[in-house]
């Protein structure tokens, strides 16, 4: 049975938008003018979405970026032959969910899906709104680069795991490098992310 959508109160929406600005201020303290722009009516949209919500489908335009206040989101493809999911990236709470180049240039996505795998509170912004932000607030470029660097660092940690010859050692490395994900993925999701079979990890 599908969960009944949860409606955020206006107070909670304001709290989530404020939390988004606080996250950005943690990346760079001098964002006072940008804060006013982001908190203006129509700039940010606070939402609650249930696990299983698709945020992006293949071949669709990447029109929004999301600050994940709570929950998890995955970037994945579906193998055409086997039908199996291959997970390339996992966003934790306190991060920006975005495919930056496609978002900035208003390009269509390729074969990727982005899906929530936990119920999530999130704050979204459109690329058209971001165009105005970039035009008027140069600090937004600095923030964007820091967000991209964070994603690159996380991808490198994942790549380091996938390059390990011992597939049984990948689980231990995963738990060391991604401690916030412990106990939050199914075995199928974990195996997909680590590039191993469940039998390798002693699961049938």
* 120's tokens: 């999530």
Which pLDDT does position 204 carry in this prediction?
47
For 81-119, write each residue's pLDDT tens digit.
Answer: 889 999 999 999 999 999 999 999 999 999 999 999 999
Task: Specify the pLDDT at position 43.
Answer: 97
Q: What whole-number percentage of the chain has pLDDT above 90?
A: 90
What CA–CA distance (Å, rounded) separates 124 from 82?
33
Show the tokens assigned to 190.
């974990």
What's the pLDDT band for 37 if we cut at 50, 70, 90? very high
Q: Which of 131, 62, 63, 70 lies closest to 95, judged by CA?
A: 70
| pLDDT-above-70 percentage for the chain | 96
pLDDT in tens, 149-168: 999 999 999 999 999 999 88
**95 closest CA partner among 155, 30, 34:** 155
For residue 3, pLDDT beyond 60: no
């Amino acid at each position: 049975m599908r969960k009944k959508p949860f409606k955020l109160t206006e107070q909670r929406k304001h709290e989530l938008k404020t939390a988004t600005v606080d996250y950005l201020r943690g990346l760079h303290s001098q964002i006072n003018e940008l804060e006013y722009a982001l908190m203006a009516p129509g700039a940010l949209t606070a939402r609650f979405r249930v696990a299983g919500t698709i945020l992006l489908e293949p071949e669709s335009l990447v029109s929004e970026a999301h600050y994940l206040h709570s929950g998890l989101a995955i970037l994945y493809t579906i193998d055409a032959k086997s039908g199996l999911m291959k997970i390339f990236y996992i966003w934790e709470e306190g991060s920006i969910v975005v495919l930056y180049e496609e978002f900035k240039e208003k390009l269509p996505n390729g074969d990727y899906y982005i899906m929530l795998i936990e119920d999530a509170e999130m704050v979204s912004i459109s690329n058209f709104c971001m165009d105005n932000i970039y035009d008027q607030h140069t600090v937004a470029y600095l923030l964007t680069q820091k967000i991209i660097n964070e994603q690159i660092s996380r991808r490198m940690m994942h790549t380091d795991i996938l390059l390990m010859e011992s597939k049984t050692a990948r689980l231990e490395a995963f738990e060391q490098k991604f401690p916030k994900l412990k106990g939050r993925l199914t075995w199928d999701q974990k195996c997909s992310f680590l590039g191993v079979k469940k039998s390798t990890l002693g699961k049938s």
